[in-house]
Amino acid sequence: MCALLIVGGTTPAAAAPPALMSDASTQTLQAMLAATPGPSDAETISEQFLGTPYGADTLIGSAQIPEQLTAELQRVDCFTYADYVEALKRADTPEQFVDSLTAVRYTGGVVSFATRRHFFTDWSATSPTLARDVTASLTDAAVATPKNLNQTDSGEQYLPGLPVVARTVAYVPSPAVDDDVVSRLRTGDYVGAYAEDGGLDVTHVGIFISTPAGPVFRNASSRDADNAVVDTPFFDYVQSVPGLVVLRPLR
């Protein structure tokens, strides 16, 4: 069963469009908001998703299909997980969640396929920004690489109908991620796995969490052994990827 959650902004001019949510997702949203009354941090909110099944392709929209604001909290991929955590940080009510999700997922809060933040570094590169790219400040070993985002090796587009975006992406090579680098990270930082492909910025996204047992990479994992939101030991994850891109949320 799907239902339209008809909630938006506090004034007609600021109102977000209706969000397409299942009844189960609506109940999950209400439970999460009730569990974190008042201002909440990324650690508390992201923890509520632990065990949530992994699910790809939950968003609706393409160059041919009209975009719909969708919130599927029953299953998440790595990027929708980040979307929902960031939106929940900014919300105390379902109405505020929908408004915040619109602002997080879409540049300028305009719901369309063209304005969706498709790339991780869009969070720090498109206005209004959601995060600051702190990658280069973590270590002198950080490397800046020019990219043509959305362009495949054959010159086609990963996302047909969207332009190629020239952007320099900084990353910390995995061999350089040591205790000193980790000490500069903060709980709630968004961490991307650097993509060696010149048309992508990252291949996966998660949240850095410092725990008494050590740092973890909290992420919606598609690995067969996980297939859910899990905590992966941070250094174990680092060893499995070429490098890291780190965005620090502004809120």
Residue 28 sits in a domain of what CATH number? 1.10.3670.10
Residue-level pLDDT at 17: 74
84 with 135, same domain: the answer is: no
Q: Which of 54, 84, 109 is the last residue of a domain?
A: 109
In a domain, 177, yes or no: yes
128 with 234, same domain: the answer is: yes
Section 171-177 average pLDDT: 99
97 with 131, same domain: the answer is: no
245 with 137, same domain: the answer is: yes
Contacting residues for 13 by C-beta, under 8 A, at least 6 apart: none
Q: Which of 78, 109, 140 is the last residue of a domain?
A: 109
Share of the chain above pLDDT 70, in %: 93
In a domain, 172, yes or no: yes
Neighbouring CB atoms inside 10 A of 119's CB total 25
pLDDT 10s digits, 95-134: 999 999 999 999 999 999 999 999 999 999 999 999 999 9
102 with 128, same domain: the answer is: no
pLDDT 10s digits, 32-64: 999 987 767 999 999 999 999 999 999 999 999
Count of structural domains, the chain: 2
In a domain, 114, yes or no: no
Whole-structure pTM value: 0.93
**Which residue, 220, 218, 119, 98, is CA-closest to 167?**
119
pLDDT 10s digits, 198-209: 999 999 999 999
Domain coverage including residue 70: 23-109
173 with 233, same domain: the answer is: yes
Q: Which of 65, 82, 109 is the last residue of a domain?
A: 109
- Quote the distance between the C-alpha of residue 220 and its chain's center: 10
104 with 128, same domain: the answer is: no
pLDDT above 80 for 83: yes
Domain CATH code at residue 147: 2.30.260.10
